[in-house]
Structure 1
Amino acid sequence: MHARVQDVTDQLDQPYTQPGRHWLTDEAEHERAHTSLAHGQIYVLTLYDDTTRYVLSARSTGGTR
């Protein structure tokens, strides 16, 4: 998800990049994502600009790596 957020952020117009750039370094939000996934919940992040909305989601497959 980290790589996809970086890709999307790179495509957004400058005024809209801040939420994605912040998410990339927000350790507390990453911990919330991990906790959500560990509890079987879907984690969703939405990034947007004037004309486009990107909804990125992750869910646990139940397996371990």
Structure 2
Amino acid sequence: MVTPTSTEALPGQAGTQRTAFQCLAAAYPHHQPRSITLSVHDASSARLALRWLKERTSHITDQLDAPHARPGRHWLTDEAEHERALTYLTTGTAYQLTLHDEHTRYVLVTYPPGPAA
């Protein structure tokens, strides 16, 4: 049986669970009224959501000046924090990573599956 990966329930299946982890990266420029979506992704497992988070963090830190990239680079090598993120996701809690430079805040977040809306 194929399980739907969207947040929409199939007809006759009220209360079904989403099976995809939602992943989002956004930039919040200072002094701007709106955010800029950088990436949206559905991952089929907590490990794949973490992989997406690592890839996006790497892409963002590659574009930051060295002092601002340092926290992201540290996070990329922090295995204990990666395990913490996996624990959060597998137990139903979202995980968020925030990076910034002088002009912009970057927010990367993964949401575990939950009840369909």
TM-score normalised per structure 1? 0.89
Higher strand share: 2
Structure 1 gaps of 5+ residues are none
Aligned to 2:70: 18
2:77 paired with 1:54: no
Aligned to 1:8: 60
> Per-residue deviation at 1:13?
1.4
**RMSD in angstroms over aligned alpha carbons?**
1.0
Tell me, in whole angstroms, the C-alpha distance in 2 between the residues paired with 1:2 and 1:21.
10
Paired residue type of 1:59 = Y
Answer 1 or 2: higher relative contact order, Cα 8 Å, separation at least 6.
Answer: 2
Tell me, in whole angstroms, the C-alpha distance in 1 between the residues paired with 2:113 and 2:56.
19
Task: Count how many residue pairs are aligned between Structure 1 and Structure 2.
Answer: 62
TM-score normalised per structure 2? 0.51
> Per-residue deviation at 1:61?
2.3
Q: Identity, % of aligned pairs? A: 58
| Deviating 4+ runs (over 4 angstroms) | none
> Per-residue deviation at 1:32?
0.6
